[in-house]
Structure 1
Amino acid sequence: MPLQPLAGITVFENDSFVAGPSSCLALSQLGAEVIKIDPIKGGPDIDRWPLTADGASIYWGTLNRNKRSVAIDLRSEEGQELAQALITSPGENAGVFVENNVGRPFLADEVLRAKRADLIHVKVQGSADGGPGVDYTVNAETGIPLMTGPVDSPGPVNHVLPAWDLVCGQAAVTAVVMGLYHRAATGEGLYESIALKDVALAAVANLGWYTETLQPAGERAKQGNHIFGSFGASFRTADGRHVMITAITKRQWGNLVQVTGLEAVIDALQTSLETDFTLETNRYTYREILESLFKPWFAQRTAQQVAADLEGSGVLWGPYASAGEVAREALDSDQSGVLRSIESETLGTMLVGAQPIRVNDEYLTDAQPTVFGAETKAVLSERLGLDSAELGRLHDAGVIGGR
């Protein structure tokens, strides 16, 4: 069985969308038991796209797999008390809570900590001042969309990947582990808050991109598919496919020139321009000229021929693939890699990612779909000792849902 470093730890979760759920998914992949406390009719992402043909949310089901789902009426006083009791329930390895709530004062840190002083409480926020923010709005504020897109595109270009949500989710994992170490060393709990906007701004700043704007050149212009400061571009093949070619190091550049047979042409160009393309900055400066020289080589070959010629050449490259192509290839494989398929009663065949950290070259896998509310009675019985009569009463009163 794969290593489960967080086995025995119980994490309670009350959140929605990407950052919080992705962090708790990662914790479950490391072996923690994750109990997701949801509103009785589901949170705001319970029906979020993409959907199956039957209307089930692939989004919710994928991000929240490998968790125990508990459905409680969080608007009722009795339901709020149940949620508090679960989060602060006894146990040396319990008392861990991840949330991104706004407007639920019964889950405020001071309220919960009064019931369990050693609580590890991780709160994901939009901004550090408590204001709202989602990946789409935060990304707009970082400056990235004004660097993204075709060179002749006058306005901002958004990307579809919720990058800051995902990075924030991994920061929340770090916060949980930090809290566990702190509690093990001191016996004390910890309240940790993480703002999505802070995550984004810090990441861009740490790449040096804001410092770059303070230099004489000022703001960075759009680069299209070129790699800033180096040589890298996309090329179209004879059969209409595309590949991404990069030559960041001197060795990669030399391999690209050699495999395309352009040594003499490149030498003549260097002489004409009085430059040296073994230097990365020069390859970037003359990127458009170099792109035009390599373009015919790719245009004369199919994607399969390009792959055959580049195989083992030392050129750093990758083919562009659609999401469907990636999915079909994963299903056709032996599934020993990071992508795995699992079967769900609500979603059918799911393609999911194993924990990408490999221990002794082995992926830490999970293969448990989650059904909304399915663990409600079991969790309340196990954690709070409620008997079947009390569980039946709560269900009939509409305080709990699920099974």
Structure 2
Amino acid sequence: MGSPRPLDGIRVVEISSFVASPLCGLTLAQLGAEVIRVDPIGGAADINRWPLTDDGETSIYWTGLNKGKKSVTADLRSAEGQALVQRLVTESGPGGGILVTNSGGREWMSHHTLAARRADVITLELLGGSDGSPAVDYTVNAGLGFPMITGPLDHNGPVNHVLPAWDVVCGLYAALAITAAIRRREQTGAGSRIRLPLEDTALSIASALGYLTEPQVNSSSRPATGNDVYGTYGTDVVTADGDRFMLVALTPRHFRDLVRITETKSVIDALAGSLGADFTRESDRYTHRHVLNALFRKWFADRSTDIVTAALDESSVLSERYRSFDEVVSSGVLADNPMFAGLDQPGIGTYLAAGLPAAFDGEHFFTGPAADLGAHTPQT
């Protein structure tokens, strides 16, 4: 048996769907909390969300986000179903009294209603827009500015991201907020009413990274850079075999090594002199990236992937070959990573599933599989 987990003895009731809210619950479950996901009878809107198994019977997406949780179903429109949720939240011992949901706006599970039954209740409501209006990751992103600087430079128009980044960040912020509220309750005995809009999550991160500060301070926003890294030197290159690598030279040492392995020192020195550039400075490496790209890409294009890999491996240059998900799995990297362990998921089979990324004293925390929908519904 493993060591105690940080949230052992905590019970969280989750009424949620899609990404942010279930990811919050999954993270709390990995940390040791007992998480009870409550769905309407037949499942919420994400019960059959793609990707599905080849037979079309099981959602790989749904089971992935709901590992280790108990599953309860109820008619949430009925008085009986609503009373069941209220009991699960409020009559759950000292470690309970916690609700996470992205299905707020319902008086019967509002903080006010639950606090009348349990004064130290903690509720976290995930919303879409900052004003409470409906919004999802892709609509929030569209209104923030990132699609306008994403994609190839010769593409005219916005490019959406594939990773639902704001959902992911929001879900992790939600888990952090819950643990902070638990800590405050332990210190003061007070509950918490937490409101976390997806849009505010995105705005906060965009502000912290300077995307929203630049227009205010410099009167202009960040330009699109394609696969070049903004503000430093980084770009993609293609080998003679057609493989593509991402290179990043963040420091003068990285850049010196890139110059060394590409045998371009004399040309780089001459280029610096003619341009009046100092390539030990990030700003100059970025400003003159197009000239540098043409010079370095020629060396990579003339050499095989094996030669390129060997040269990069013995250097300090930050690099990685672009791979597909299929290649990642077939490479064996999952089996070699202690964060992954075999999981027998009913409806899917056995596969390597990730546990908590953070290792506590060298130990990654894992959960069991996702339960069958409604498997833990109380019998009346």
TM superposition score category, shorter chain reference: over 0.9
Q: 2: CA distance between counterparts of 1:90 and 1:334?
A: 39
Contact residue 335 and residue 352 of structure 2 kept, 8 A: no
Partner AA of 2:117 in structure 1: K
Equivalent runs, 1:71-82 vs 2, <5 Å: 71-82=73-84
Q: 2: CA distance between counterparts of 1:340 and 1:302?
A: 35
The answer on 1:188 being equivalent to 2:190 is yes
Contact residue 211 and residue 221 of structure 2 kept, 8 A: no
Q: 2: CA distance between counterparts of 1:268 and 1:3?
A: 61
Contact residue 237 and residue 303 of structure 1 kept, 8 A: yes
Residue 263 of structure 1 corresponds to 265
Residue 364 of structure 1 corresponds to 365
The answer on 1:146 being equivalent to 2:148 is yes
Q: 2: CA distance between counterparts of 1:283 and 1:215?
A: 23
Q: 1: CA distance between counterparts of 2:4 and 2:319?
A: 33
Q: CA deviation at 1:90?
A: 3.4
Q: 1: CA distance between counterparts of 2:368 and 2:329?
A: 17
Q: Percent of pairs identical after alignment?
A: 44
Stretch deviating more after TM superposition (334-343 or 353-362):
334-343
The answer on 1:98 being equivalent to 2:73 is no
Q: CA deviation at 1:333?
A: 5.2
The answer on 1:4 being equivalent to 2:5 is yes
Stretch deviating more after TM superposition (96-105 or 22-31):
96-105
Partner AA of 2:156 in structure 1: P
The answer on 1:281 being equivalent to 2:283 is yes
Contact residue 147 and residue 161 of structure 2 kept, 8 A: yes
- 1:1-60 alpha-carbon deviations (Å, 9 max, x no partner): 255111111111001111110011011111111111111110110011111112211111
Q: 1: CA distance between counterparts of 2:59 and 2:354?
A: 17
Contact residue 63 and residue 369 of structure 2 kept, 8 A: no
103 and 344 in structure 1: CA distance in 2 versus 1, 3 angstrom threshold: same
- 1:77-96 alpha-carbon deviations (Å, 9 max, x no partner): 21111111111113011111
TM-score of the two chains, using structure 2 as the length reference:
0.95
Q: 1: CA distance between counterparts of 2:371 and 2:303?
A: 46
Q: 2: CA distance between counterparts of 1:183 and 1:161?
A: 35
Q: 2: CA distance between counterparts of 1:77 and 1:165?
A: 31
Residue 337 of structure 1 corresponds to 338
- Secondary structure at the aligned position of 1:150 is classed as coil
Q: CA deviation at 1:335?
A: 4.3
Q: 2: CA distance between counterparts of 1:13 and 1:147?
A: 36
Q: 2: CA distance between counterparts of 1:366 and 1:225?
A: 37
143 and 13 in structure 1: CA distance in 2 versus 1, 3 angstrom threshold: same
Equivalent runs, 1:385-396 vs 2, <5 Å: 391=379, 394=380
- Secondary structure at the aligned position of 2:253 is classed as helix
Contact residue 346 and residue 371 of structure 1 kept, 8 A: no
Residue 171 of structure 1 corresponds to 173
Stretch deviating more after TM superposition (351-360 or 67-76):
351-360
- Secondary structure at the aligned position of 1:363 is classed as coil
Q: CA deviation at 1:250?
A: 0.9
- 1:116-151 alpha-carbon deviations (Å, 9 max, x no partner): 111111111112322111100001111111111111
- Secondary structure at the aligned position of 2:364 is classed as strand
Partner AA of 1:225 in structure 2: N
Residue 325 of structure 1 corresponds to 327
Partner AA of 1:365 in structure 2: F
Q: 2: CA distance between counterparts of 1:86 and 1:363?
A: 29
Partner AA of 1:208 in structure 2: G
Q: 2: CA distance between counterparts of 1:103 and 1:10?
A: 22
221 and 361 in structure 1: CA distance in 2 versus 1, 3 angstrom threshold: same
Residue 385 of structure 1 corresponds to none
Q: CA deviation at 1:102?
A: 4.1
Q: 2: CA distance between counterparts of 1:29 and 1:172?
A: 14
Which of 248, 251, 254 is the equivalent residue of 2:250?
248
Q: 1: CA distance between counterparts of 2:366 and 2:330?
A: 20
30 and 60 in structure 1: CA distance in 2 versus 1, 3 angstrom threshold: same
- Secondary structure at the aligned position of 2:185 is classed as helix
Q: 1: CA distance between counterparts of 2:259 and 2:148?
A: 32
Q: 2: CA distance between counterparts of 1:90 and 1:244?
A: 51
- Secondary structure at the aligned position of 2:35 is classed as strand
- 1:317-371 alpha-carbon deviations (Å, 9 max, x no partner): 11111011112234x7544433344121112234432211122233223343332
Stretch deviating more after TM superposition (18-27 or 335-344):
335-344
Partner AA of 1:89 in structure 2: E
Q: How many aligned positions are there?
A: 378
